[in-house]
């Protein structure tokens, strides 16, 4: 079969129809995420589509170019999210997409292409397995799921319910509370924060498959999460809580309500999101019964370039993180979006 690969700048319907036809596709292969990233960060999208001799799409590779004086120029499929990478029907199609990616790598002056895969592509040698995603297989109903929980988790949820915490699910009307908690948590972690408009753009682009879930105490948001779902999986890519209220267990109530929401919507899996094995968030997610699923971040490298290491545990970023944690929240909210736009 003859395969041709070109940059795709057409209507999303043909792209999304192919994505929907592939059982291994992920939420972030959908074309709408391109608009979210372009609108939110101004990055150049370089989406590749492979076509067969009948001019039908037989493979796609969504890709975004990031340019930074601090971090250099590189391509990611897809930045800011856990998944992306190659999606195709045959190994010959994957090979054609990779050949074009390598040409695109050289032509764009990028140091590398990072492909975030759920399954290893054997044609790519450079691979990191430093992250996992945590997946919980859901019961058919809420009651059965409750009894599957560890007794400690159930007690923490009960404690939260007895503490006067209230939960609500909504859209843009909950964005201010979500962002207040999220931005404060990111500052405390020493991480630059996304701009508020990024989350607004996500909610507006996917009104039928995204929601905000918030936990409040006397009208104040103390924990909040963005939920997004595709097919039979609901994912929580961003969730935060205010540490001052930790004793009330708002984070436990937040995730239990998210799980209840997923079951009510017919989801079969709950994706807690990316974690580093054996770190704190990994153990928190594991106590809910979630199992680690390996993530394969694979790299096409320009000659002379090594594997990137944009990792907060990299010693050269340690001082910057410590300084960031001490900055006023107003300042980090102002500066953060300009920095984080180039941290994938």
Cβ atoms of 86 and 61 within 8 Å: the answer is yes
* Phi, psi of 220, deg, nearest 5: -100, 130
What CATH architecture is 4-129+296-308? Answer: 3-Layer(aba) Sandwich (3.40)
18-23 average pLDDT score: 96
CATH of 132-294, one of 3.40.50.2000, 3.60.9.10, 3.90.660.20, 3.40.630.30: 3.40.630.30
* Residue ranges per structural domain of the chain: 4-129+296-308, 132-294
* Phi, psi of 61, deg, nearest 5: -145, 100
pTM listed for this prediction = 0.92
- For residue range 239-278, list pLDDT tens digits in order: 999 999 999 999 999 999 999 999 999 999 999 999 999 8
Hey, do 4-129+296-308 and 132-294 end up sharing a CATH topology, with the first three levels equal? yes
Q: How confident is the model at residue 107 (pLDDT cuts 50, 70, 90)?
A: confident
Percent of the chain surpassing pLDDT 90: 76
| Segments of 46-100 assigned E as strands | 48-51, 57-61, 64-68, 72-77, 87-88
């Amino acid at each position: 079969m003859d395969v041709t690969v070109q940059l795709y700048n057409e209507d999303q319907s043909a792209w999304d129809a192919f994505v929907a036809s592939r059982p291994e596709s992920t939420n972030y292969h959908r074309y709408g995420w391109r608009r979210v990233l372009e609108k939110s960060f101004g990055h150049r999208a370089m989406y590749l589509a492979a076509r067969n001799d009948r001019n039908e799409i037989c493979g796609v590779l969504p890709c975004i170019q990031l340019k930074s004086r601090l971090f250099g120029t590189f391509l990611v499929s897809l930045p800011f999210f856990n998944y992306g990478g190659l999606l195709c029907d045959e190994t010959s199609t994957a090979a054609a997409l990779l050949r074009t990616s390598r040409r695109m790598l050289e032509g764009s002056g990028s140091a590398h292409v990072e492909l975030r895969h759920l399954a290893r592509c054997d044609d790519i040698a450079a691979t990191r397995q430093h992250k996992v995603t945590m997946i919980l297989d859901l019961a058919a109903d809420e009651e059965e799921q409750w009894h599957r929980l560890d007794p400690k988790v159930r007690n923490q949820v009960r404690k939260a319910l007895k503490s006067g915490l209230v939960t609500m699910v909504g859209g843009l009307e909950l964005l201010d509370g979500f962002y207040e908690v999220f931005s404060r948590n990111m500052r405390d972690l020493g991480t630059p924060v996304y701009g508020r408009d990024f989350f607004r753009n996500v909610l507006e682009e996917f009104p039928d498959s995204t929601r905000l879930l918030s936990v409040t105490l006397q009208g104040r948001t103390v924990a909040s999460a963005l939920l997004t779902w595709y097919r039979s999986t609901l994912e929580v890519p961003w969730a935060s809580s205010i540490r001052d209220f930790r004793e009330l267990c708002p984070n436990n109530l937040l995730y239990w309500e998210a799980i209840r929401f997923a079951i009510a919507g017919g989801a079969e899996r709950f994706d807690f999101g990316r974690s580093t094995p054996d770190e704190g968030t990994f153990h928190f997610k594991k106590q809910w019964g979630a199992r680690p699923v390996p993530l394969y971040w694979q790299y096409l490298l320009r000659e002379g370039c090594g594997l990137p290491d944009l990792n907060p545990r990299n010693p050269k970023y340690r001082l910057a993180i410590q300084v960031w944690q001490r900055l006023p929240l107003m300042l980090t909210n102002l500066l953060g979006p300009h920095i984080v736009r180039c941290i994938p």
